[in-house]
Amino acid sequence: MPKIIVIGACGQIGIELVIELRKKYGVTEVFATDIKDECPALIANGPYQKMDIIDREDIREFIISNSIQEVYLLAALLSATAERKPDFAWKLNMEGLFTILDLAKEGYVKKIFWPSSIAVFGPTTPLDNTPQYTVMEPSTVYGISKQAGERWCEYYFNRFNVDVRSLRYPGLISYKSLPGGGTTDYAVDIFYKAKEGVPFTCFLSENTALPMMFMDDAIKATIDLMAAPTEKVKIRSSYNLGGISFTPKELAEEIRKELPNFNINYEPDFRQAIADSWPNSIDETHAQNDWNWKHTFDLKAIVKTMLDKVKIS
Query: Are 66 and 32 within 8 A, CB to CB?
Result: no
Catalytic-residue membership of 155: no
46 binds, among ligand NAD, ligand AKB, none (CB under 5 to 8 A by kind): none
Residues lying near ligand AKB in the complex (CB under 6 A) are found at: 78-79, 117-119, 142, 170-171, 182-184
Least distance in angstroms from the C-beta of 129 to ligand AKB: 17
How far is 163 from 110, CA to CA, in rounded Å?
7
Lay out the site mask for ligand NAD across 22-41 (x = CB under 6 A, - = otherwise). Answer: ------------xxx-----
Q: Which of 3, 20, 49, 54 binds ligand NAD (CB under 6 A)?
A: 54
Residue 207 backbone phi and psi in degrees, to 5: -105, 25
Using a 10 angstrom Cβ sphere, with 0-12 exposed, 13-18 middle and 19 or more buried, the burial of residue 108 is middle
Q: In this chain, which residue has its C-beta nearest to ligand NAD?
A: 11
Query: Are 279 and 136 within 8 A, CB to CB?
Result: no
75 binds, among ligand NAD, ligand AKB, none (CB under 5 to 8 A by kind): ligand NAD
Least distance in angstroms from the C-beta of 224 to ligand NAD: 17
Sole window of 4-12, 83-91, 202-210, 274-282 interacting with ligand NAD (rule: CB under 6 A): 4-12
Closest CB to ligand AKB among 33 and 183? 183
Least distance in angstroms from the C-beta of 274 to ligand AKB: 7
Closest CA to 102 of 159, 183, 171: 159
Closest CB to ligand NAD among 229 and 276? 276
Closest CB to ligand AKB among 166 and 183? 183
Least distance in angstroms from the C-beta of 146 to ligand NAD: 7
Farthest-apart Cα atoms in the chain, separation = 59
Least distance in angstroms from the C-beta of 164 to ligand NAD: 14
Distance of CA 176 to the CA centre of its chain: 14
Closest CA to 238 of 149, 146, 167: 167
Site membership for ligand NAD, residue 172 (CB under 6 A): yes
Site for ligand NAD in 62-121 (CB under 6 A): 74-76, 78, 92, 115, 117
Closest CB to ligand AKB among 14 and 171? 171
Site for ligand NAD in 111-140 (CB under 6 A): 115, 117
Q: Which long-range contacts (CB under 8 A, 24 or more apart) does 306-310 make?
A: 306/173, 306/175, 306/188, 306/191, 307/191, 307/194, 307/195, 307/255, 307/258, 307/259, 309/175, 310/175, 310/191, 310/192, 310/195
Closest CB to ligand NAD among 74 and 104? 74
Closest CB to ligand NAD among 72 and 200? 72
Provide the phi-psi class of 209: left if phi over 0, else alpha when psi is between -120 and 50, else beta: beta
250 binds, among ligand NAD, ligand AKB, none (CB under 5 to 8 A by kind): none
Enumerate binding residues for ligand NAD (CB under 6 A).
7-8, 10-14, 34-36, 51-54, 74-76, 78, 92, 115, 117, 169, 171-172, 179-182, 184
Question: Which residues participate in catalysis according to the annotation?
Answer: 142
